[in-house]
Homo-oligomer: A and B are copies of this chain.
């Protein structure tokens, strides 16, 4: 799957991923009202609203981008009905040949991580049949529990040719509270990065590993260091746009080959119509606003990469 991701990045010339993180507040009134008219102001109504919202954004952007990253929390907030909208979104994006990165940040003791891995990336035996659950292409994983919490995910990836992005240095303001703590003079995130590099080298897709890392756009200096620590790992870079990252801050997340990173924007794309720059599209044409925001983001990042 890492090879498919690279192939699509090269074809679209867009090392970006659209974060499908639909807060109800981002969904235009007319989409909400239509969903509520059919399903009521219920979890089902909310799930329908975010699904229709996602579908329009995917329809308007899928030809420009290699991948999407639905953040499962935004669906989980609507309970089981929200999870149905998540699954519908995953399946629809795959039908459009997009690579789907499930931003699930799971991680637990071995036997439990195995169940998460099966549910999100693998398949499960039910009697004599094999069934699949959410079936994303990549998943994000939290490393706090150490190797035996990560390895079951790697095993499933090996079997199913899928991939991981392991949290190394997250984009949020307090990420340093534990991640920056020095251990023998080296921050914890670097130690985690070294582990990712090690797992990565053991699980190569081609020139890149299918074990990648998450490093926030909001920490470009750390990104520069981690790029060298994990030379063969793709870095998923959240925090572009709404969280403050810009194209020029991100060049050091990429290798000399122009690959090695994929930059996520969520709000900046999916709620583009709410921003001054794209307000002219209006809520009726929110999908077109998102398309324009994708084009601008690609230009910003490509420009920065060419200028380096």
Q: Which residues of chain A have a CB within 8 Å of any CB of chain B?
A: 21, 23-24, 32, 36, 41-43, 45-46, 71, 73-74, 76-80, 82-84, 87, 105-110, 112-113, 115-116, 118-120, 124-129, 131-134, 142-149, 167, 170-179, 181-184, 188, 191-192, 195, 238
Least distance between A87 CB and chain B CB atoms (Å): 5
Contact (Cβ within 8 A) B77 A132: no
User: Which residues of B are found within 8 Å of A188, using beta-carbon distances?
Assistant: 178, 181, 188
Contact (Cβ within 8 A) B78 A124: yes
- Cβ contact of A126, chosen from B43, B74, B129, B176, cutoff 8 A: B43
Contact (Cβ within 8 A) B126 A24: yes
Contact (Cβ within 8 A) B79 A127: no
Give CA–CA (A106, B128) in the complex, Å.
33
User: Which residues of B are found within 8 Å of A78, using beta-carbon distances?
Assistant: 119, 124, 126, 131, 133
Q: How many copies does the complex hold?
A: 2
- Cβ contact of A133, chosen from B79, B134, B181, B192, cutoff 8 A: B79
Contact (Cβ within 8 A) B172 A127: no
Contact (Cβ within 8 A) A87 B80: yes
Contact (Cβ within 8 A) B178 A192: yes
Contact (Cβ within 8 A) B178 A45: no
User: Which residues of B are found within 8 Å of A183, using beta-carbon distances?
Assistant: 181-183
Contact (Cβ within 8 A) B46 A144: no
Which residue in chain B gives the minimum CB-CB distance to A85? B80
Contact (Cβ within 8 A) A87 B76: no
Give CA–CA (A71, B79) in the complex, Å.
16
Least distance between A32 CB and chain B CB atoms (Å): 7
Contact (Cβ within 8 A) A41 B119: no
Contact (Cβ within 8 A) B146 A174: yes
- Cβ contact of A80, chosen from B80, B107, B167, cutoff 8 A: B80
User: Which residues of B are found within 8 Å of A115, using beta-carbon distances?
Assistant: 23, 71, 73-74, 76-77
Most chain B CB neighbours (cut-off 10 Å) among A83, A106, A184, A188 = A83
Contact (Cβ within 8 A) A116 B76: yes
Which residue in chain B gives the minimum CB-CB distance to A134? B79
Which residue in chain B gives the minimum CB-CB distance to A186? B181
Give CA–CA (A164, B303) in the complex, Å.
46
Contact (Cβ within 8 A) A127 B41: yes
Contact (Cβ within 8 A) B174 A119: no
- Cβ contact of A32, chosen from B127, B134, B171, B195, cutoff 8 A: B127
Give CA–CA (A183, B180) in the complex, Å.
10
Q: A76-B120, A79-B133 are contacts. A177–B112 as well, Cβ < 8 Å?
A: no
